[in-house]
Chains A and B, each alone.
Chain A
Amino acid sequence: MTLPSLAVAAPRSRVDHLWRLFGTGLSFVCFGLGGVLISLTLFPLIRLFSWNRERCRRRIQRAMHHTFRLFVWLMTRLGVISWEVHGRERLLQPGQLVVANHPTLIDVVLIIALMPEVDCIVKQALFRNPFLRWPVAWAGYIPNRESGALIDDCARALRAGRSLLVFPEGTRTIPGQPMALKRGAAQIALAAGCPLRPVGITCRPLMLTKYEPWYRIPPRPGHWRLEVGEALPVADVGAGAGGQALAARRLTQQLAAQFSPYAQACSWV
Chain B
Amino acid sequence: MRSEQEIFEHLKGVLVELFEIEPAKITPQAHLYQDLDIDSIDAIDLILKLKDYTGTKMQPDEFKNVRTVGDVVDAIRTLVAS
Which A residues are closer than 8 A to B by beta carbons? 146-148, 151, 182-184, 187, 241-246, 248-249
Question: Given A249-B19, A249-B20, A243–B39 Cβ distance below 8 Å?
Answer: no
Is chain A's binding surface mostly helix, strand, loop or mixed? Answer: helix
Interface stretch among B41-49, B50-58, B61-69, B74-82? B41-49
Is chain B's binding surface mostly helix, strand, loop or mixed? Answer: helix
Q: Please measure, in the bound complex, the distance between the C-alpha atom of A244 and the C-alpha atom of B41, giving whole angstroms.
A: 10
Please give the number of chain B residues whose Cβ is less than 8 angstroms from any Cβ of chain A in the complex: 10
Which residue in A146, A151, A246 is a CB contact (below 8 Å) of B18?
A: A246
Q: Please measure, in the bound complex, the distance between the C-alpha atom of A245 and the C-alpha atom of B40, giving whole angstroms.
A: 11
- Cβ–Cβ contact A183 & B18, under 8 A: no
Q: Please measure, in the bound complex, the distance between the C-alpha atom of A243 and the C-alpha atom of B18, giving whole angstroms.
A: 7
B17 within 8 A of A: yes
Closest to A186 in B: B41
Question: Given A147-B40, A182-B39, A183-B39, A244–B45 Cβ distance below 8 Å?
Answer: yes
Contact residues in B for A241 (Cβ distance below 8 Å): 17-18
- Cβ–Cβ contact B18 & A242, under 8 A: yes
- Cβ–Cβ contact A147 & B39, under 8 A: yes
Contact residues in B for A242 (Cβ distance below 8 Å): 17-20
